[in-house]
Structure 1
Amino acid sequence: MDLDERKQKILQAIIQDYITSAEPVGSRTIARKYDLGVSAATIRNEMFDLEMMGYLEQPHTSAGRIPSIKGYRFYVDCLLQPAKITSDEKRFVEAWFEDKMSDVDQIFQSTAQGLARITHNVTLVMTSQQTSSKLKYIRFLPLDHRRAIMIVVTDTGQIENCIYAKPDGVDVDDLNVVAEKLTRCLAGVPLSEINMDVLEKFRGTVVDDLDLYRTAFRSLHKAFRKKQQLYKGGTMELLNKPEFKDVDKAKSLFTMLEEQDVVANLLHDEGEKGNRPVTVRIGEETKLSPINDCSIIEATFTANDMVLGKIAVLGPTRMEYAKIISLLDFMKQHVTNILEHYHDDK
């Protein structure tokens, strides 16, 4: 640690003030608003040293300073104090989910929307299809005279669906006979073990019509192929941030958020464990140029020892780290409890 106690206090004061004001911070502001026991001149000298050491930056010709990525990183790693979740915030979270638990998709979407409401930043929830999930049942629903919808439900409440082109002369009742037989053969089998070779073994048991069966196979395989689902909330909140008044910058960020593969890679971490604490990536640590001026705070959520995905808050580097970290951790625990009870009821 290369900062003495006084420099740490000054850096902390600058970051806290900049988070609130979004304006470069000067030495007189720190001397007036924070009781550090030193003069504005001393603070100015210390700020110059902090700039030379890479913890502060001086934008344009402003007399004030703003934190650098290095400064934010030191703040998050060494100076941050946990923020308490208020009773009102807890009640909001609990009430938010009361009527939003009809299925797993709704729980995840509500998580993204609810957290965005509290943090006023973009919230991302990414779920992944668990290889340990097991097939519960298959069903067909009519769509029109040429197509049906294949519904695949797992034991964790996950629902996948795809459009099925009906062969000539086949109606939905015929398809549901096939679905019932497939369900009897495959119920309780992990999704990771259901492939074309396994399906081929059951053809004689399910139906004599080879074309009908192979078409059902392809649709079933297509339904399983969807590996990830992304839920977003609060995208428009960014337009209220001074950092995104620049139209080109905002457009670049919004375009990135619409690219699911890019966002999935942003949240993907091969080494992530379900019990890992909340993590913070700041600015260029995200390794994506559209969000070089942003930070992302994320956590992994689980249910019954299964890792189900990621929950993250994306906002400007000038975000309220302490508050958002505490809210994210609370939301993570709340969603985990909901999912565990949901799965227990299945």
Structure 2
Amino acid sequence: MDLDERKQKILQAIIQDYITSAEPVGSRTIARKYNLGVSAATIRNEMFDLEMLGYLEQPHTSAGRIPSIKGYRFYVDCLLEPTQISEEEKRFVQSWFHDKMNNVDQIFQSTAKVLSKITHNVTLVMAAQQVSSKLKYIRFLPLDFRRAIMIVVTDSGQIENCIFPKPEDTDVDELNVIAEKLTHYLAGLPVSRINMEMLEQFHESIVGDLELYRLAFRSIHQAFRREQQLYKGGAMELLNKPEFKDVAKAKNLFTMLEEQDVMANLFSDGGQEPQKTVTVRIGEEANLSPINDCSIIEATFKANDVVLGKIAVLGPTRMEYAKIIGLLDFMKQHVTNILEHYHDDT
């Protein structure tokens, strides 16, 4: 059943009031605060109908109503108009990124932090592995008697490292000779193309222990073994939300936030609605019990038409959808511009 205009206005007023107050909303509050042109009694009757239709719920301890998942979904899909980011917030974002662009990791981490500061919710940035990145150089650093650290740097500023098991009677200087040879041979090649078969093509120029080079090739793969990297910000912001005053609920959520594989799965695959600018999943739509009382607002960002990752804001279902959707639209374009300019400069 479609909602008539009056029911839509009342539902919108209730949701907007609940987002601000976190308190169940009564008909008198709506009549007093919103100029809907009808009496409190009429609003009360409409609220009862909205509850019967599944758009509102009544907490047992209150005479007021709160939005249901169905109510939020109708609000997001049919009633909401994203708000524009303010000039003050734009300046804050631009100043935050200034001097934080030494490498791609810093850009992604800065994105997570600045969003959490503006939204006061958890922010997640999932950076896709840059399979088109080209190897720039390899270097070894000493760690201890039996191990060294292998550093692999790409042309996009991505830095990966792994522990390299150093054979007996091999010092770091010898390893860096290998690194120089590997750099000379592999520099400029996409990381995704580096494989053990290349070792066969490389063997004629090798002087020394073939096993060391084989181990180095394996270590390059180990350094880039992650297909994606997750950056988080604002987890502590949730403690200030009334929804998470319950210690058990907060503990379950914080435990989940520490599990990277679980958090990575929070992101949608994008296959359903590839043209959609921002996606919103509300409550149980995320299919993860610790966040049944939360919503996730997500956007995808690209550079030079290549998907580089996704940005998501996780917070209570009464989050400021209009503001956050508008902010994500801005941030998506801002981060895309930064990454494209960064790529052009490297």
- Whether the TM-score (by the shorter chain) exceeds 0.5 is yes
Q: Whole-Å Cα distance in 2 between the matches of residues 321 and 196 of structure 1?
A: 49
Q: Equivalent residue for 1:112?
A: 112
Q: Does 1:77 align with 2:111?
A: no
Q: Does 1:331 align with 2:308?
A: no
CA contact 1:276–1:300 (8 Å) conserved in 2:
no
- Residue deviations 1:222-261 (CA, integer Å, cap 9, x gap): 1121221111100000000000000110110111111111
Q: Equivalent residue for 1:146?
A: 146
CA contact 1:274–1:301 (8 Å) conserved in 2:
no
- Residue deviations 1:265-306 (CA, integer Å, cap 9, x gap): 111415278864011110011111100000000111111221
Cα distance, 1:198 vs structure 2: 2.6
Q: Does 1:90 align with 2:90?
A: yes
Which AA in structure 2 matches 1:167? P
Structure 1 residues 256 and 199, CA gap change in structure 2 (3 angstroms)? farther
Q: Which runs of 5+ in 1 are unaligned?
A: none
Which AA in structure 1 matches 2:218? R
Which AA in structure 1 matches 2:180? E
Aligned residues: 346
Q: Whole-Å Cα distance in 1 between the matches of residues 206 and 282 of structure 2?
A: 54
Cα distance, 1:206 vs structure 2: 3.1
The aligned runs of 1:1-346 (5 Å cut-off) are 2-269=2-269, 271=271, 276-346=276-346
CA contact 2:24–2:62 (8 Å) conserved in 1:
yes
Which AA in structure 1 matches 2:88? D
Cα distance, 1:213 vs structure 2: 1.7
Q: Matched residue of 2:312: which SS? A: strand
CA contact 2:199–2:214 (8 Å) conserved in 1:
no
Which AA in structure 2 matches 1:108? F
Q: Whole-Å Cα distance in 1 between the matches of residues 251 and 203 of structure 2?
A: 51
CA contact 2:102–2:157 (8 Å) conserved in 1:
no
- TM-score normalized by the length of structure 1: 0.96
Cα distance, 1:139 vs structure 2: 1.4
Which AA in structure 1 matches 2:12? Q
- Identity score, percent: 81
Which AA in structure 2 matches 1:174? E
CA contact 1:182–1:206 (8 Å) conserved in 2:
no
CA contact 1:274–1:300 (8 Å) conserved in 2:
no
Q: Which runs of 5+ in 2 are unaligned?
A: none
- TM-score normalized by the length of structure 2: 0.96
Over aligned residues, Cα RMSD in angstroms? 1.5
Q: Matched residue of 2:277: which SS? A: coil
CA contact 1:122–1:314 (8 Å) conserved in 2:
yes
Moved segments of 4+, more than 6 Å = 272-275
Cα distance, 1:45 vs structure 2: 0.5
Structure 1 residues 254 and 44, CA gap change in structure 2 (3 angstroms)? same
Q: Whole-Å Cα distance in 2 between the matches of residues 210 and 243 of structure 1?
A: 60
Q: Matched residue of 2:148: which SS? A: strand
Q: Whole-Å Cα distance in 1 between the matches of residues 275 and 49 of structure 2?
A: 39
